[in-house]
Structure 1
């Protein structure tokens, strides 16, 4: 039986509606909760236990990567301390949309083959499926109540040419990696989504969804039950080689250990410069609505899947588990911080473009988080020249990749051959001019939005001619 989710909003009338947020300006004092909806059912704990002086392994970062690694190590008899700069789970592991895919969405199959060769591409794609399966296996074997569901994913085509390209790619995916899917033409898309703005789409029926807050909380409980420590307010300030191991300095004390794993993804800093140069953080924002009347909701999301689209600057959405809320995500606004309605206005606009009939529905929550992007848009795990293990760079598909890579990097640390992956021998490139790359993110995003709009205009003109 799944853990309960939050109840419908008793004070929904105090919140601005989607239409009001989309039009703007909405005053900062408007009744929006600027924190993840997921925290309603899984509040972030604020107690900070002492920093243990010794451990076999110190893991830096308390997201899905770090917790998955910790669980694997504990089950292999190692003592583990997980260090977190803030409250455990404060970062993107409890700030994402809770969609779980195979991690194969970044490249079309033919493009991946061009980049990596057919043999390597096939290995990477097949391992992507194992990532998805591993999440389901872990949740079931650990008995974590977090609304895991094999709901499937509908990816909507923004333009007719996107539909045709997607159909070819889905066939390539089946031939190369054995991944099953099916296409839904525009004439039949109301069986998948109650909107007329798309041109059909594809369905990956094995993709899944989860309540990320409850998933994270469940992992923490298992780790603590096995004797591991998850310590907040204890960010690592330095890693120093110390004889046969390391000393990890925190503002609350030093931990001596045999091994270190860095699992910071979008929150990677200069703690390990070799890794800091290889990750650019990109903001992602989400909003949650109040409950939508059943008659409308069942028409909008008839199969209750996870959803996305084919734009360069894409959006993604789903229903909250057990409720008729919409959880809608996309890139965060570039102008304001995470406590300003202006930062989330474009999300309401995108939502109403797809579902114009819900303009009067209130917006209850708005939040953001950081995605860790790599230069080659491929996740990486391995070991630095100084012997520090790492797993990071999930490029927006972190629920499955982080869980799986955390497990695998832990096995690699143990010298277990089961830790081998198709990603082990990939070069991990640094970003050229890394500081400039970080500052360029909003400019690139704006350029992509312009290109998406221009492509849509050209496509419309071609259809009329």
Structure 2
């Protein structure tokens, strides 16, 4: 196995591969106005989707971004797009007559919704509905896929079990014990999709303010005073879509999301036949471990992108890249010696019930907590929040569900290294039993 500095290409960058096509920018940033009808905090998928829909309804909307447009998770993720496949166990604990099937059905709708936006707004982001494959890390995991396939098919996701002797049809690896293929899943270039949403929201009339950090929000009668690093802003409504970057300006929300670093590496260009053999059908790929890995070919189908929870203590991307490289070789041992050109990290937001949430607290609207499946979900929840403000949304299974926290949790996830080691142990035990 290649090790240390030998895994890094000469031109290695500790930055997202996606930024080669669309780097974060403050280009087009507008001056902060004195007042606005709706102030949206965060310019990721959720914030831009909300702003886009509000602007399409003629609402005066201002998006407040703490730094550059596109500096957060919306340009740092793997570009996997699923329709509810990753919903947490909390789907069985919903209230108000909402069932797990209701949650799942609406999550499936989010897949069609994002496809509709991309088509309607003509966003060029390498959108491909090529499906997904989840490899079973153990024989027992494969057996559990039978019930999942039934659930997925009940909602039209077109899932099928792939036995071990056939898995080379979908993945160039013998590491797994078969898996499940889901046809209704997609992939995109996350930074180009973000840039497309940014340009589209601006074109429809949304005001976008970069380098405008929200420091505090004060209720003033039936409106709000939003104090920012660029000055005060009066708003009739406030929408928080900060997800894994939620801070002290919204302490109630900060106590309900757990920011977790996810890490990704990208290989140098591979020979065409080697790259094709890694993912013959071009699907997005992942495994069934508690600390899962996810991977896919880049849009040009010449490089492998490989991601996972390489560290729970915020280690530098260069350090974790070496860990991910070893994980990659566990799946694709024949890639030993291939160098990596990019390695980076970004925050995703987990919730204590494993569910995404949107609703209102003390008058502030929020949409966040997608547990690593935020591309379609944040787009959908931002859209739903906007429609809720203008009075045009249909009833949503996600709206107003209990948003739990834990005693003494303030937003600093000190417990993550311990949880990570525990999950690593459980994954190791599972593998030993196989």
Match of 1:394 in 2: 370
Instruction: For residue 31 of structure 1, report the CA deviation from its aligned partner.
Output: 4.1
Preserved contact between residue 256 and residue 404 of structure 2 (Cα < 8 Å) = yes
Deviation at 1:128, TM superposition (A): 1.0
Match of 1:207 among 185, 190, 193: 185
Partners in 1 of 2:23 and 2:277 — Cα distance? 32
In the alignment, structure 1 residue 37 sits paired with structure 2 residue 37 = no
CA 1:178–1:304 in structure 2 vs 1: closer, same or farther (change >3 Å)? closer
> Of the candidates 419, 422, 425, which is equivalent to residue 447 of structure 1?
422
Which whole-Å CA distance do the structure 2 matches of 1:361 and 1:35 have between them? 19
Correspondence for 1:353 among 283, 306, 330: 330
- Give 1:147's aligned residue: 126
**Structure 1 328/130 Cα, relative in aligned 2: closer, same or farther at 3 Å?**
same
Deviation readout 1:35-60 (Å, 9 max, x if unpaired): 11111011211444321222111100
1:122 and 2:97 equivalent?
A: no
In 2: Cα distance, 1:58 partner to 1:297 partner: 45
Which residue matches 2:195?
217
- 8 Å contact from structure 1 (residues 333, 342) kept in 2: no
Secondary structure, aligned partner of 1:285: strand
Q: Does 2:87 align with 1:106? A: yes
Give the SS at the match of 1:317: strand
Deviation at 1:130, TM superposition (A): 0.1
Q: Answer yes or no: is the 8 Å Cα contact 2:226–2:232 preserved in 1.
A: yes
Distance 1:183 1:211 in 2: 28
User: 1:313 and 1:212 mapped to 2: Cα distance?
Assistant: 22
Deviation per residue, 1:22-43 (Å, 9 max, x gap): x336699964211111110112
**In 2, are the aligned partners of 1:96 and 1:369 still within 8 Å (CA)?**
yes
* Distance of 2:188 and 2:9 partners within structure 1: 31
- Deviation per CA, 1:395-454, whole angstroms, max 9, x where unpaired? 110001100000001111112243x21112411112232149711112111211111111
Q: Partner of 2:143 in structure 1?
A: 164
* SS of residue in 2 equivalent to 1:124: helix
Report the counterpart of residue 343 of structure 2 in structure 1: 366
Does the CA-based 8 Å contact 1:65-1:402 persist in structure 2?
A: yes
Task: Give the superposition deviation at 1:168.
Answer: 2.3
Structure-2 separation of matches of 1:427 and 1:81? 28
Cα distance in 2 for partners of 1:192, 1:99 equals: 16
Shift of 1:242: 2.8
CA contact (8 A) 1:335 1:343 kept: no
CA RMSD of aligned residues (A): 2.1
> Displacement of 1:215 after TM fit?
0.3
State the 1:79 CA deviation. Answer: 1.1
Q: Distance in 1 between matches of 2:403 and 2:234?
A: 28
Q: Is the 8 A contact 2:65 2:210 kept in 1?
A: yes
8 Å Cα contact 2:215/2:249 also seen in 1: yes
Deviation per residue, 1:334-357 (Å, 9 max, x gap): 466435x21222211111111111
- 2:225 is aligned with 1:251: no
Cα pair distance change 1:51/1:126, threshold 3 Å: same
Residues 24 and 342, structure 1, Cα contact 8 Å, conserved in 2: no
Runs (5+) with no aligned partner, structure 2: none
User: Compared with structure 1, are the counterparts of its residues 270 and 336 closer, same or farther at alpha carbon in structure 2 (3 Å cutoff)?
Assistant: closer
**Is the 2:9–2:341 contact (alpha carbons within 8 Å) kept by the matching residues of 1?**
no
Alignment-derived partner of residue 379 in structure 1: 356
- CA shift in 2, pair 1:245/1:444, >3 Å: same
* Separation in structure 2 between the aligned mates of residue 411 and residue 74 of structure 1, nearest angstrom: 11
Classify 1:201/1:63 alpha carbon distance in 2 versus 1 (closer, same or farther; 3 Å): same
Structure 2 counterparts to residues 14-93 of structure 1, below 5 A? 19-20=1-2, 23-24=3-4, 31-47=11-27, 48-93=29-74
Inter-partner Cα distance in structure 2 for 1:164 and 1:116: 30
- Normalising by structure 1, we get a TM-score of 0.89
Matches within 5 A, 1:204-353: 204-334=182-312, 337-339=315-317, 341-353=318-330
Instruction: Give the whole-Å Cα distance in 2 for the aligned partners of 1:145 and 1:29.
Output: 29
